[in-house]
Structure 1
Amino acid sequence: MTMDIHAGDGRPVIIGGGIAGLMTALHLAPEPVLLLSKSALGKDASSTLAQGGLAASLGADDNPALHLADTLAAGDGLCDIHAASSIVHAAQAEIEALAGLGVRFDRDRNGAPLLGLEAAHSRHRIVHAAGDGTGRELVRALTAAVLNTPSITVATGMEARRLIVHDGAMAGVLAEAPKGPVLFATQRVVIATGGIGGLFPDTTNPLGCFGQGLALAARAGAELADMEFIQFHPTALDGPTRPMHLVSEAVRGEGAILIDEAGRRFLEGGDLAARDIVARAVWKHLAAGHKVYLDARQRPGSDFASRFPAIHAFCKNAGIDPASDPIPIRPAAHYHMGGIAVDAAGRSSVAGLWACGEAACTGLHGANRLASNSLTEAVVCSKRVAQSVAGTAVRRDRQPVAATMPPRPDPASIRPILARTLGVLRSGEDLGDAIASLLPIAQGHAAASDPAAVGLMIAIAALQREESRGAHFRTDFPPKAAVARRSRLRLDEALDAARGLPFETFPHARSA
């Protein structure tokens, strides 16, 4: 098989065409940069589906200290307080910068941003655009800006398959192009590929977002962090459509409530409790044989269509009028708090490799992301990543070597395993089952091997965390440990841990 090798000219390569990738490319201008995207910019990106908005303390009754306190409380003891403080303090300036790039935020008659309320926030601080179309509006404006920036070369239809490492540092990116394999020589790579929701059958993420960026980093030897913490959004529209339509938390922020088939409110602690609490309550109620609905008939009631036009449209397509009908919902994989371990500048443990957005683990989210902090993190950290990339020297004597192209990744066979074992509620027996099933696939060279490797790292981290904290709930270890600790793991460590497990102690595990 012939391979087109592009001689390196020092250009950084950004992998991912969502908000994190677009913003990083814009901040690097006027330095030339190559942006790789599997699809057209913004298409099939989680960013486009983001409904809620960006969290920032813009209200007269708010300040960054209050925003930080809410972030730390939601993170359940695992946030990096320095990272979190730095990001929430920078939020206002970056939102103003987005407006300067043409993002049309929703504003009141005086021109001030309209601020919404979401779960676990003590103040109205969610800045949104186009009602519930914030992600779509951000992608629109940023895509236009990128296409009008001469220093950014956009290569769509390009799927990064492997990172090439030489002497412990980045040397290239092996990608599959429409006309065949391409090897880009580069010593600076930014992973901005989104999350892992596509590893689950029930997800609000595009099905093409199944942790490819994490697999790239893991195969290159990078350290990953907090992999066990997966946020399941409690209110996805319960229907056959995949990905599942998200019914934004902002709907509950405006007064909608959770009820069952009898019209009874069943959630202790309030409908705007932290997402992990609400997701577990809904999951348990469904498991007990009930139906669960989001009731917006009273609030926002007749205002639903104007306030949430996108949600109203997909509900109507499903035969539901939110102003008169309760909306059937169930939890779905939504956001990954874990990812590639990075420092304050977005640098990973591999020289020349950065990560930004959901693929990165900055420490902001801890064990349970505070609603709408994710877009804020992406726009704030993209600037810092770009500054770090621009300030990194390039060695002219390092060139990549040709590598074998792995198969196109396909998570289809992995989804049932993760759905059964790594959902809202977990147990040691189920995690042992997952590890036994995933290990031989992760060690192979099949289409499912990269998705299996990511799933294996999640399962190992979940098995090693013998407590329930935030979005990670162990039915066999419900109490929270006295001392909070973050988890860090490399792929070789996960493989060694899996091989060393006594699978006979897991009654339901299939022998690897």
Structure 2
Amino acid sequence: MHKTDVLIIGSGLAGQALALRLADRLKVTLVTKKALLDGASSWAQGGIAAVLTDEDSIDAHLQDTQIAGGGLCDPHATRYILEHARRNIEWLIAQGVPFTPDAGHPFGFHLTREGGHSHRRIIHAADATGAAVQQTLVEKVRQHPNITVLENRVAIDLITSRKLGHSEQRALGTYILNTETDHVETLLASYTVLATGGAGKVYLYTTNPDTATGDGIAMGWRAGCRVANMEFIQFHPTCLYHPEAKSFLITEAVRGEGGILRLPDGHRFMPDHDPRAELAPRDTVARSIDFEMKRHGLDCVYLDISHKPRDFLRDHFPTIYARCLELGIDISRQGIPVVPAAHYTCGGLMVDLQGRTDVANLYAAGEVAYTGLHGANRLASNSLLECLVIAESAAEDILSRQAEPLPSVPDWDESRVTDADEEVVIAHNWNELRHAMWDYVGIVRTTKRLQRAQHRIQLLTQEINEFYRNFRVSNDLIELRNLVLTADLIIQSALRRHESRGLHFSRDYPDLLPKAVPTVLVP
């Protein structure tokens, strides 16, 4: 058993930023599924959106966010997060993050532009911003005497007071599987923070790392937290299509710097779909690619930036240039084969602007949480920004509070379970789940498709829950249990929305309703 002031589950930008902001005054335990750098934050290529010049404004950023979000962004939450952007960028610079410099720029750093943005406002570190930010923070996290890092730990479920027979519900910590020893550990904390990321692995094709299995959303829901807008799963339009390129993203900034989407015959098709062409928001571009692929029976389309000089491409997109070259694709001479892939979970556990959930002493930050910023479709490069701002405000809230004493908690009981007899059941259910979600709950939906998916998910849920009750937990079983619950929440939410808005496009309800209302599910 391990006790701490603050338990943070997840080591992406939200988790690490929060840990560093708390650790000078509190004992923090940071738990991560694999290693500290294995989350989705490290994979972020584009950058962080913030108003950093006099030509730009908060109102312009707010308008861009609302347009991309299909009118469903919460205006108060959105303004709050955008107004706190610059100070958080300055905090990252003070930590030593090596953003790409630009001596001729008044802010001193190069700003790029991405789809849906009316100004150049994306501060970045070449085309590997997430990695640069995370590597900088990891060094500080590892060196801080008040931060304990527990790697190779997968959270099983939250420990709550109601499970101990109390009438009020508050978070007390979590049971966690040490995947190196296969033992379940008990972690108790005055405050617990879910910073577990999204749920991209619920789909067959995703840009997300293997760790994105909806763990925090599922754990929070089981503990009594509401979720909102789970139907809005963002499909990134341009994931590299190559058998050896697992989940490799081609950043939005390639289109921002002049990349053109073409069919195999060279036809530029985006102007046929939207006057903003390649700079339309992600939902429009993803649907357009999906339409063209289905219409022509294509495996992929091509993102062509070969008209730019080779030196420009090496300077601006060194990671993409090198990775494509490894695979035999010279982006200075040919188009990059791309397909849409599940990328970002716009909904999640409902939180306020301090990151507080419906359960006392339980916070959520980052992709696992729903603040109201992203609405029906996340604007490019607003995600890392949200991580930073909510981490800052959650830290302020936790530091302002007086911790309650922790009750005694029983250890994990394995006395009535056995080792699994056939692990193949988990592998089969995992594959069936991801195929069903891809086929029936993808970029374009119908009520019949959603009902088919729901039927399959219900059968899978029964099998998985029976398996969970009878056998010892494993990493794969924990993740599958969380994924199937998250999939059910996505389908429930999609069936409730009788319109097409943002990332949710239904053939049965192709029009917008006059009023934009979030979809809220209550446990």
- Compute the TM-score of the two structures, normalised by the length of structure 2: 0.89
Root mean square deviation, CA, Å: 1.8
Amino acid in the other structure paired with 1:353: L
Structure 2 residue 33 is matched with structure 1 residue 33: no
Amino acid in the other structure paired with 1:20: A
2-side partners of 1:427 and 1:266: how far apart?
25
Q: CA deviation at 1:104?
A: 0.8
- Within the candidate set 124, 131, 142, 1:128 is matched to 124
- Within the candidate set 247, 252, 259, 2:250 is matched to 247
2-side partners of 1:332 and 1:414: how far apart?
16
Task: Show CA shifts across 1:146-198 (max 9, x none).
Answer: 11211111111111111011131112210011331111122311011111111
1-side partners of 2:244 and 2:497: how far apart?
33
Checking the alignment, whether the CA contact within 8 Å between 2:191 and 2:361 is kept in structure 1 is yes
- Within the candidate set 180, 184, 187, 1:184 is matched to 187
Structure 2 residue 63 is matched with structure 1 residue 89: no
Specify the SS of the correspondent of 1:68. Answer: helix
Question: Partner residue of 1:194?
Answer: 197
Identity of aligned residues (%): 39
- Within the candidate set 71, 79, 97, 2:73 is matched to 79
Pick closer, same or farther for the CA change 1:465–1:303 going to 2, 3 Å: same
Q: CA deviation at 1:17?
A: 1.0
Specify the SS of the correspondent of 2:109. Answer: coil
Amino acid in the other structure paired with 1:92: R
Q: CA deviation at 1:80?
A: 0.7
1-side partners of 2:503 and 2:432: how far apart?
24
Amino acid in the other structure paired with 1:173: T
Amino acid in the other structure paired with 2:68: A
Checking the alignment, whether the CA contact within 8 Å between 1:206 and 1:243 is kept in structure 2 is no
Structure 2 residue 449 is matched with structure 1 residue 430: yes
Pick closer, same or farther for the CA change 1:359–1:404 going to 2, 3 Å: farther
Checking the alignment, whether the CA contact within 8 Å between 1:254 and 1:299 is kept in structure 2 is no
Amino acid in the other structure paired with 1:65: D
Checking the alignment, whether the CA contact within 8 Å between 1:441 and 1:449 is kept in structure 2 is no
Structure 1 consecutive aligned stretches of length 4 or more whose deviation exceeds 6 Å: 405-410
1-side partners of 2:375 and 2:114: how far apart?
18
Checking the alignment, whether the CA contact within 8 Å between 1:18 and 1:48 is kept in structure 2 is yes
Structure 1's unaligned 5+ residue stretches are 493-512
Task: Show CA shifts across 1:191-244 (max 9, x none).
Answer: 111111111121111022111111111121211111010100111111224642
Pick closer, same or farther for the CA change 1:209–1:242 going to 2, 3 Å: farther
Amino acid in the other structure paired with 2:457: L
Structure 2 residue 14 is matched with structure 1 residue 20: yes
Structure 2 residue 209 is matched with structure 1 residue 206: yes
Structure 2 residue 355 is matched with structure 1 residue 346: yes
Q: CA deviation at 1:11?
A: 1.4
2-side partners of 1:441 and 1:401: how far apart?
30
Specify the SS of the correspondent of 1:35. Answer: strand
2-side partners of 1:170 and 1:413: how far apart?
33
Specify the SS of the correspondent of 2:64. Answer: helix
Checking the alignment, whether the CA contact within 8 Å between 1:226 and 1:338 is kept in structure 2 is yes
Question: After superposition, where does 1:23-172 map in structure 2 within 5 Å?
Answer: 23-30=17-24, 31-43=26-38, 45-110=39-104, 112-129=108-125, 131-167=126-162, 168-172=169-173
Task: Show CA shifts across 1:455-502 (max 9, x none).
Answer: 000001001111100011111111011111101113x4xxxxxxxxxx
Specify the SS of the correspondent of 2:279. Answer: coil
Structure 2 residue 417 is matched with structure 1 residue 417: no
Checking the alignment, whether the CA contact within 8 Å between 2:302 and 2:337 is kept in structure 1 is yes
Q: CA deviation at 1:303?
A: 1.6
Q: CA deviation at 1:440?
A: 3.1
Specify the SS of the correspondent of 1:186. Answer: strand
Structure 2 residue 262 is matched with structure 1 residue 230: no
- Compute the TM-score of the two structures, normalised by the length of structure 1: 0.91
> Larger deviation: 412-421 or 97-106?
412-421
Specify the SS of the correspondent of 2:278. Answer: coil
Task: Show CA shifts across 1:80-139 (max 9, x none).
Answer: 11110011111111101101111011111257110001001000000001x101000001
Structure 2 residue 306 is matched with structure 1 residue 297: yes
2-side partners of 1:92 and 1:300: how far apart?
33
2-side partners of 1:258 and 1:331: how far apart?
12
Question: Partner residue of 1:488?
Answer: 520
Q: CA deviation at 1:390?
A: 2.4
Amino acid in the other structure paired with 1:127: I
Q: CA deviation at 1:404?
A: 4.9
Pick closer, same or farther for the CA change 1:331–1:29 going to 2, 3 Å: same
